[in-house]
Amino acid sequence: MFVVQAFVFSAVLGLVEGVTEFLPISSTGHLILAATWLRIPATEFWKSFDIAIQLGAIAAVVLVYWRQFLQIKKVLSKVLVAFFPTAILGLVFYSLIKKFLLGNYLVVLIALLIGGIAILIFEYFYKQEIATTGSIENITWRQAALIGLFQSLAMVPGVSRSAATIIGGLLLKIKRQTIVEFSFLLAVPTMLAATGLDILKSGFGFSAIEWQSLAIGLVTAFLSALLVITWLLRFIQNHTFKIFGWYRIVLAIVLLIFLIPTLL
């Protein structure tokens, strides 16, 4: 029964990761909420699982955008510049984040609520006409570095790496589809580094069942992320992110109502 339960947990969390990773609603936040509602124990394995599961979503991006990664000077170099701020800050705050923030239900809900309000306010004032950068190749070094700083805000669970980078890019006058695709590409080194750091810190001394659980989660995350990437690129052609802002707010309020009695 334990084995079947572990595999079910892995499949559910993989689906959650794949669906939410590239949407501006916070994959880490949703993984924490899902784990809480499923009553998955907060063991070192499941904490590492939440980080490693991102490799499935990475594989989906690589499959779709492998040609762009081969454009070293025009594309890959700018992705790496954007990655640098998060890499430095991640190294500095890794232990603090994993110990106090990962798994913190209240932090996630507050971040979801504030992030949702921020998205609605941003979309109310944002005008697409101000965007002047229409392709990833035309993103400047300065824009790339600043996008990286925006992305580092997502070290707080519930903020959303996707939302931070996309809104940051829009503020920097990058067109919506361009910054969404750049956010996809930037996810690859960011997630690889997060997973690699966790391997070095934890050693990944998993049992056979835990490795099998991770494999199930990775496959589920890969397949669901692939579908979401394709869907999101079509969605943004005629829609803003307001619906995601409202979703975050409603979800946070509903879950906070359930949480409040436990805090009294």
The one-letter amino acid code at 195 reads: T
Over the stretch 211-231, which tens digit does the pLDDT of each residue have? 899 999 999 999 999 999 999
Mean pLDDT, residues 238-255: 94
Distance from C-alpha of 220 to C-alpha of 218, rounded to nearest angstrom:
5
Tell the residue number behind the tokens 């950068």, with chain if given: 133
Task: Answer yes or no: is pLDDT of 52 > 70.
Answer: yes
Mean pLDDT, residues 148-171: 91
**Mean pLDDT estimate for the chain:** 88
The distance from CA 96 to its chain's CA centroid, rounded to whole angstroms, is 19
| Domain map (residue ranges) of the chain | 2-263
Tell the residue number behind the tokens 């949407």, with chain if given: 23
Tell the residue number behind the tokens 């750091």, with chain if given: 197
Q: What is the per-residue pLDDT for 203?
A: 63
Reported pTM: 0.88
Q: What is the per-residue pLDDT for 1?
A: 40
Task: Name which residue leads in pLDDT, 79 or 134.
Answer: 79
Rg (CA), the chain: 18
Distance from C-alpha of 176 to C-alpha of 189, rounded to nearest angstrom:
21
CB count, 10 Å around CB of 2?
Answer: 7
Tell me the percentage of the chain whose pLDDT exceeds 90.
Answer: 55
Distance from C-alpha of 148 to C-alpha of 157, rounded to nearest angstrom:
17
